[in-house]
Structure 1
Amino acid sequence: MSRGLDTQALLRLMAWLSPAFPIGGFAWSGGLERAVFDRLLTNAAGLKDWLSAILGHGALWNDAVLFAEAWRQSANEAMLKEAAELGLALAGSAERFTETLSLGKAFVAAASAWPDAVLERLPPDVPFPVAVGAVAAAHDVPAEKALAAYLHAAVSQSVSAGIRLGVAGQTEGVAILADLEDLIAETAERAAQTTLADLGGAAVQAEIASLRHETQHSRLFRS
């Protein structure tokens, strides 16, 4: 997993994880909206702590482990199907299930602009990290670099959601991204060496927030 990242692979990675890539990631908050509604988060410092917990112990950590597995198994259709089924089974709420499945399907559809046999090996119902991991491997993007980009994009989306929800300003949001750089890099490096045995989380408040969002009537986000 130590291959270099050439210019073409870098450009593809930037495109796939760009906010402009047509997967609709801006519509989801992963329970963050409910956490703000319940005043678990009230400022930028709280948002940073929340994201740190998700990276190290929550849904983003499990996403990273699934991503790494899909990267390793990109040529194995049976193993990709198993990873996809496991990823969907691990969704802690109906909204989390819909979020990762919706993003995964949309990613595969959009990634077809770069034709590759891996798109045929992926199952129809594929969670987002499995889709991105498999496609990244098929296009020779190193695992650790792809993981870092994936996690940074996810954190950036959450920061953007936090700004829209009023718990941080744009300058504070940029500062959060800067402060979390080392943690993102460390998490990517660690996740690149994992197996499925490393799946697991302890971000209980975040999982509860995701569940509670399902009954929230006034909302900006779908999760």
Structure 2
Amino acid sequence: MSEDRELQALLRLMAWLSPAFPVGSFSYSGGLERAVHDGLVTDAAGLRAWIETLLAHGSIWNDAVLLAEAHRAHADAEKLAAVADLAEALAGSRERHQETMLLGEAFLTAAHAWPHPVLSILPERTAYPVAVGAVAGAHELHCEKAIAAFLHAVASQGISAGIRLGVAGQRDGVTILAGVEELIARLAHRAAGSSIDDLGAAAIQADIASLRHETQTTRLFRS
């Protein structure tokens, strides 16, 4: 890839996975709000552990695998539909389903600013990692870099949610983000070479927190 193309790819990743991209990710905590309510996450160290667990062993790892699969299948409508169906089926709670589907829908709507035929073969409602992976693959963005940017964005949103929930300050948040860089790089490399057989999560407390959030009466977030 030429230097100009590499720079263009970087700019697109920065745009698509920026907090300013209109997907509404700030509205979701992925169950973190319930974990804070239940005393599972009480400080910056707990917030980092929560994010690292989701990255390496939870729903975010599965999202990385699904993103890689969609990246490879971006030109095959049948394979892409199968990945999209699997991603939707893997949503472990009503709110998790709502989160990934609405984020994906919003991502695809905004991505029409970069027209490409892939947008016509994807379902209008597509899980977020599948939408990102398919669009990144269609635009010939490097898979590992796309996954790294996606994981960084998800981790950043988790940290932002933790700050708003009062378990960490902004300086703590920056420290956490710096601290998970190496983990994100390792996971991006691993996920880029993964297959559907590598799907699997073991973050049970996070899954329970996501389910329990559905009945929480006073809350800041939609998940």
TM score, norm. by length of structure 2: 0.98
Q: 1:29 to 1:129 in 2, by over 3 A?
A: same
Matches within 5 A, 1:102-113: 102-113=102-113
Runs of 4+ in 1 over 4 A off after TM superposition: 2-5
Q: Which amino acid is 2:127 matched to?
A: P
Match for residue 166 of structure 1? 166
Are the counterparts in 1 of residues 56 and 187 from structure 2 also a CA contact under 8 Å? yes
Deviations 1:98-140 (A, max 9, x none): 0000000000000000000010111222100000001011111
Q: Which amino acid is 1:184 matched to?
A: I
Matches within 5 A, 1:118-137: 118-137=118-137
- The CA RMSD over aligned residues, in Å, is 1.2
Are the counterparts in 2 of residues 84 and 125 from structure 1 also a CA contact under 8 Å? no
Q: What displacement does 1:217 show?
A: 0.4
Match for residue 58 of structure 1? 58
TM score, norm. by length of structure 1: 0.98
- The CA distance in 1 between the partners of 2:83 and 2:126, in whole Å, is 9
Are the counterparts in 2 of residues 148 and 185 from structure 1 also a CA contact under 8 Å? yes
Match for residue 22 of structure 1? 22
Unpaired segments of 5 or more residues in structure 1?
A: none
Are the counterparts in 2 of residues 103 and 128 from structure 1 also a CA contact under 8 Å? yes
The size of the alignment, in residue pairs, is 222
Q: Which amino acid is 1:153 matched to?
A: A
Match for residue 12 of structure 1? 12
- The CA distance in 2 between the partners of 1:73 and 1:139, in whole Å, is 13
- The CA distance in 1 between the partners of 2:37 and 2:141, in whole Å, is 39
Q: What displacement does 1:3 show?
A: 9.9
Give the secondary structure class of the aligned counterpart of 1:6.
helix
Match for residue 87 of structure 2? 87
| Bigger mean CA deviation after superposition, 62-71 or 4-13 | 4-13
- The CA distance in 2 between the partners of 1:137 and 1:29, in whole Å, is 27
Unpaired segments of 5 or more residues in structure 2?
A: none
Give the secondary structure class of the aligned counterpart of 1:129.
helix
